A and B are shown apart, each in its own frame.
Chain A
Amino acid sequence: MNTQQLYRGVTEIDDALIEEALESPHQKRRRIRPFAMGAACLALISGVFFALRGGPTADPLPSSGEIYVMPRWEDMPLYRQYGQIDWDGADYYAACPVDAGAVGALLGGGTATGHDLYEDRDYSTVCAVYALSGISPAAAVAVQYEGHDGFYTCRAEDYSSGTLGELIDDLGLEQNLTFGLVYYDGAYQDPGRALSYRLPDPAAAWDLLLGDRALKNEGSGHYTASLMGFSVTVEVLGIHNLSLSVNGEGYLQTNLISTGASYHIGEEKVRAFLDYVFTHGEVVEWPQIAGGGSWEPEPVPETEQGASAPSRPPAAPE
């Protein structure tokens, strides 16, 4: 074990011990006070972050100089007010408005709840629950709140697919999935390669990534740092710029569903996907990140050995 590996081990020290160190009397005195603002006023620091993360084609958010005000209850759209849905013993959360044309059969009645952050008060109403066309109710439904006409997509909090085929069918991905840019997270260690690419025919990558429907979902246990992946959208489910990616262990992984999913497609297919992107993809240049330096990949120093540092989350949900 070398020092960098020991550093990585120290990084994984138990949360409770870290909290203890952070709560020590000396740490409390040292804590830097955040910029003092009103309870509901925030600087939209993430504006530039999201404009960049979404790629050059993303609509720009307000600049970092603008103030984002957390909306008051009465100013929130209906589905944000009553965002938690309880139906048929399962929990759903409201994601987005949905066109009536996508709504299917009536499934039953549910309860919708919400919380006013300012008043610290809970609200509740009833709603009618409908199927979404081509989408399994186990993954998502549409709701119509009592006394209102519109419909809203609500996604299941604990949905998990057994196989890749079930994920494709339950979310209606063949009809609903839109591919965005491809991001190459290995660019830092791969001189000459770009961070992002656009595939003229992204559907051609479908077979490589999604062709083996029988693959079992191995959950989030193999969800590690992405090597390369698509930013994908499923408009009807209110999913924008989530990830369908491959990792160095031969897994296809996605956070399309809340529980996370990974499928072992094999290192050969991972390699084939990377090669396909490098061969057919058009390089998309990233803008400079303000204050941080460029995204230009740098060669790994000769003295560095071993795998790249993990930017992975912990191995299992905590």
Chain B
Amino acid sequence: MDDRQIIELYWAREESAVSETERKYGPYCRSVAVNILGSAQDAEECVSDAWLGAWNSIPPQRPASLRAYLGRLVRNAALSLCRRSRAQKRGGGMEVLLSELGDCAGSRPSPEEEFDAGRLGEDISRWLRGLDGAKRRLFLRRYWLGESVGELARECRCTPNALAVRLRRLRLELKDFLEQEGYAL
């Protein structure tokens, strides 16, 4: 079933919308969740939350890319789960990801009423478009899809240390960009 048809099921409040979503995107969403959380059990809870999020938000939403939309729900659910301490207690991948992102962020949060995740996403997107394709995909696969350094290194045919150095350079480039854009780090 194509994405348009699945979205129409949500709009028609057909309960098969969730099973169709699970069928088409379940493995992908679990993969993202496991990458980020490092635990199959946490990933299952995360994906369940994402299905709930999809059911509650479509309508009124009509995503242009259902796959990206679901991935976003999974990422948000993973962060919620982490905040409830479950993933931290089990030593999930979220801690490592956040630790790496610490290179391009500060320790103090911006006031929530001033923080605009959407605008930040647009700015980071603009930065990514200025990179060559290989760097762009590397950043996204590590920090959006949560793929491990070891796995990425195998596919890039380099050592994990060499890949870690490349990722760190990317993070520092992002930090420079964000500072130029006026973000308080």
Q: Which residues of A does B touch, CB under 8 Å?
A: 1-22, 24, 26-27, 31-35, 37, 42-46, 49-50, 53, 61, 68, 70, 83, 93, 95, 117, 188, 220, 223, 226, 238-240, 242-243, 255, 258-260, 289, 291-293, 298, 300-301, 304-315, 317-318
Contact = CB atoms under 8 A, between A and B. Distances in A.
A6 B106 CA distance: 9
A77 to B, nearest CB: 13
A259 B80 contact: no
B21 to A, nearest CB: 8
B85 A301 contact: yes
30 contacts: A1-B105, A2-B108, A3-B101, A5-B115, A5-B120, A6-B104, A7-B101, A8-B120, A10-B124, A18-B71, A18-B144, A32-B27, A42-B20, A46-B17, A46-B18, A46-B51, A188-B80, A238-B13, A258-B59, A260-B59, A292-B48, A298-B85, A300-B83, A305-B109, A309-B79, A311-B76, A312-B76, A314-B72, A314-B118, A318-B69
By secondary structure, the B interface counts as helix
A292 B49 CA distance: 10
B105 A49 contact: no
B185 interface: yes
Contacts of A313: 53, 57-58, 61, 69
Nearest to B8: A93
Given A13-B121, A220-B60, A289-B45, A31 B28 contact: yes
Given A3-B101, A255-B60, A260-B60, A34 B26 contact: yes
B48 A289 contact: yes
A8 B83 CA distance: 13
Contacts of B61: 220, 260, 313-314, 317-318
- Nearest 4 interchain pairs by C-beta: A260-B60, A12-B121, A9-B120, A46-B18
Chain B CB within 10 A, most for which of A6, A43, A243:
A6
Contact of B184 (A1, A42, A300, A308): A1
A311 B77 contact: yes
B86 interface: yes
B125 A292 contact: no
A309 B112 CA distance: 11
Contact of B68 (A9, A18, A24): A18
B62 to A, nearest CB: 5
Given A1-B185, A21-B145, A93-B12, A311 B53 contact: yes
Given A19-B67, A83-B12, A291-B45, 15 more contacts: A1-B178, A7-B98, A12-B118, A16-B65, A18-B65, A21-B145, A32-B27, A44-B16, A46-B17, A95-B12, A255-B60, A293-B45, A298-B86, A300-B84, A318-B63
Given A17-B128, A45-B18, A68-B16, A5 B98 contact: no
B125 A17 contact: yes
B127 to A, nearest CB: 10
B124 A2 contact: no
Interface in B112-130: 112, 115, 117-118, 120-125, 128-129
A8 B11 contact: no
A39 to B, nearest CB: 9
B144 A13 contact: yes
Contact of B183 (A1, A32, A34): A1
B155 interface: yes
B101 A6 contact: yes
B26 to A, nearest CB: 7
A314 B122 CA distance: 12
Interface string B1-41: 10001000001110111111011101110010000000001
B69 to A, nearest CB: 8
A83 B14 CA distance: 13
